[in-house]
Homo-oligomer: A and B are copies of this chain.
Amino acid sequence: MVKSQRVTIQDVAVLSGLSICTVSRALRKLPNVSENAQAKVSDAAAKLGYKPSSAASRLAGGSTGSIAIVAPTATAWFFAQAVEAAEEVFGDSGFDTVLVSLRGRPSVKQKVFGDLLGLSQRVDGVLLLNVDLSESEIALLAASGLAVASVGMTSVPWDNVGIDDRHAAWQATSHLLELGHWDLAVLSGRETQENSVLTAGDRLKGFGQALKDHHLTVDPDLVVTSNSTIDGGRKAMNELIAHRSLPTAVFADCDEAAFGALMAMREHGMSAPKNVSIIGIDDHPMSWFLGLSTVAQPVADQGAFAANLLVDRLQNADALNEPSNHFLDTKLIERKTTRRQR
């Protein structure tokens, strides 16, 4: 069954009584192969347990059968989720998944251009998750010949899927406003090169828009910038409590920051929604646990969707349709950290 000696295309050719060339074409389901030949080849291949050598295939100009996923990190909930979903799609489509975690190093560029354009020899395509790329980097990638797709990126010349961050923030903020809150603070993620939280800006805009829709204006003193982490949220909330005025409600632009805020409150003997209402964005599994109101975004779906788009491009290289940009729906989930302001 499991042969120690490699089964090559040659063996299949001999068994099926056809030439290597025909076998190669049949295996890849190229046109100009008779049904007869096709059948013979499939049979022979199955009987022999033939598996093409990706190395040979690649070397000869074919595909590598693998796709790279590039993410800022693999540990954060969002990315772990998206990576796994994408990996599943790739696996099911017969691709190996090569994981590249940037880990917030300064060598992002080097990774992308040293390895990634170096990667172009090893993978057929790249799935970018929230990677912060410069104009020129985008251009280079687009010209690399690699199939590219992304999650959570905007104005890129390839398929992208994400959520409407402005809208999500608007939803969260509007919820607060509709509960009668008008004194709002926002915990806004920093837009850094390193951590590539590309979404923070849009979310802040959505917050502003919601206020505007209710004829309110943003109080700059209640916009506190923080890292999109538990600790970042905690520090930001402490800042708010200690050095600024306490609003009646807080919009954290991601759930992890909201957790931190919750924690900071607890440290000051306060709790939500008793003293302050709090809402986040994400619907992290812990949010349910903590009763955090939030705007849910489909994470695995985004990864899977983008992965499918990429696989489609790879498999139907002929259909050269325009790059598409998809927005998945977000949904307000009201739990226990927000309540009506009396």
Contacts and interface: CB of A to CB of B under 8 A. Distances in A.
A83 interface: yes
Contact of A99 (B57, B83, B122): B83
Interface in A52-72: 53-59, 64, 66, 69
A181 B136 CA distance: 64
Nearest to A97: B99
Interface string A89-125: 0010000111111010000000001010111011000
A334 interface: no
Contacts of A115: 91
A288 to B, nearest CB: 9
A119 to B, nearest CB: 8
Contacts of A289: 230, 259, 263
Interface in A65-92: 66, 69, 73-75, 77, 80-81, 83-84, 87-88, 91
A51 interface: yes
Q: How large is the interface on A (under 10, 10 to 19, 20 to 34, 35 or more residues)?
A: 35 or more
A121 B53 contact: yes
Contact of A84 (B101, B113, B230, B285): B101
A30 interface: no
A286 interface: yes
Contacts of A53: 59, 121
**Helix, strand, loop or mixed for chain A's interface?**
helix
Contacts of A103: 84, 88
Interface string A115-155: 10111011000000000000000001000000000000000
Copies in the complex: 2
**Of A81, A98, A117, which is in contact with the most chain B CB atoms at under 10 Å from its CB?**
A98
A242 interface: no
A289 B91 CA distance: 36
A51 B115 CA distance: 10
A320 interface: no
A196 to B, nearest CB: 16
B91 A84 contact: no
**Of A51, A57, A99, A263, which is in contact with the most chain B CB atoms at under 10 Å from its CB?**
A99
Contacts of A119: 96
A319 interface: no
Nearest to A256: B285
B286 A2 contact: no
Given A53-B59, A289-B259, A81 B75 contact: yes
A16 B285 CA distance: 58
Contacts of A59: 53, 55-56, 59
18 contacts: A2-B117, A6-B121, A51-B118, A51-B121, A54-B55, A55-B55, A55-B57, A55-B122, A66-B122, A73-B84, A74-B84, A83-B99, A97-B98, A99-B99, A230-B285, A230-B289, A259-B289, A286-B286
Interface of A: 2, 6, 51, 53-59, 64, 66, 69, 73-75, 77, 80-81, 83-84, 87-88, 91, 96-101, 103, 113, 115, 117-119, 121-122, 140, 230, 259, 263, 285-286, 289
